[in-house]
Structure 1
């Protein structure tokens, strides 16, 4: 299973569409973790699973979603409802409730991935307004029975060399 994950594009339209279209044909699912600040029918979000962020006022997007792709359960939320800027614990409870193997979130604009209790947590960072790094990031997660790899890319599609995470699965 291969998932494209992006977040916090904050009103970017053509830029978001360019990045999504770059990977559209090579992944099994396209995910936006909120704060797109776009309407649901916008062409930049065509075919993308999107959740509502704290800046998505009046949006019809759901607060969270659960998708199963090739047997892998993915939980997606923006993160503001789970206080992710302070701790990942409330998010971990929700991911466990949903039976997720992968939990995707945004909100903090801080890119990173880690594994805890068998769940891989992925924050793709922000494609528009990154924090703690200069690169504007998104990522792709490749997940199979024995391992998972989360690779981060900058806006131009270059791999961010120090942000490739490998996880061994049980």
Structure 2
């Protein structure tokens, strides 16, 4: 299974379309973690499991989603309701509450992933306004059995050195 994950595109349309087109034949699902600033029914957001961020005004986006994809429970949120710029503790409590194994969030614009107490947390960064790195990033998550690869890419589809990680679920 491969899942495309992005966040914090803040009004970009061409870039979202390019990324979708680049990976359309290889991913089984697409996730947007909020702050697209696009209408819910926009063509760019079609096919995305998308949530509402603090800069999204279309109330048709849900605040959060729980989805089962290929044997993993995903929890998707923007992160502003969980103070992710300060700590992941509130988000980890929510992940435990909904029995999520993989949590996708944004808000901080800081790309990264980490395993905390058996739960994988993924922030794909921002394809518009990245922080802590120059690259504008998104993620392709790929799993084979218990092994999950979190691969970060820049807008042109190049792998971003130093961010990609492999995790093992027990």
Deviations 1:110-164 (A, max 9, x none): 0000001111000000000000000000001112322111000000000002111
Measure the CA separation in 2 of the matches of 1:164 and 1:80.
Answer: 24
Shift of the alpha carbon at 1:38?
0.3
Instruction: Give 1:85 deviation, angstroms.
Output: 0.2
Which residue in the other structure is 2:141 paired with?
A: 141
Q: 1:68 aligns to what?
A: 68
Q: Tell me how many residue pairs correspond in the alignment.
A: 170
Structure 2 stretches of 5 or more lacking a match?
A: none
Q: Distance in 1 between matches of 2:47 and 2:159?
A: 24
Secondary structure at the counterpart of residue 74 of structure 1? strand
Residue-by-residue CA offset, 1:89-130 (whole Å, 9 max, x unaligned): 000011111111100000000000000111100000000000
CA contact under 8 A between 2:40 and 2:58: conserved in structure 1? no
20-29 or 108-117: bigger deviation? 20-29
Query: With structure 2 as the length reference, what TM-score do the two structures score?
Result: 0.97
| CA–CA distance in structure 2, aligned partners of residues 149 and 70 of structure 1 | 14
Q: RMSD between aligned alpha carbons?
A: 0.9
Matching residue of 2:57: 57
Instruction: Report the Cα distance in structure 2 between the residues aligned to 1:64 and 1:34, rounded to whole angstroms.
Output: 10
Whole-angstrom CA distance in 2 between matches of 1:116 and 1:61: 28
Counterpart position of 1:132? 132
5+ unaligned residues in a row in structure 1: which ranges?
none
2:167 alignment partner in structure 1: 167
For 2:35 and 2:146, the matched residues in 1 are separated by: 33
Which residue does the alignment assign to 1:3?
Answer: 3
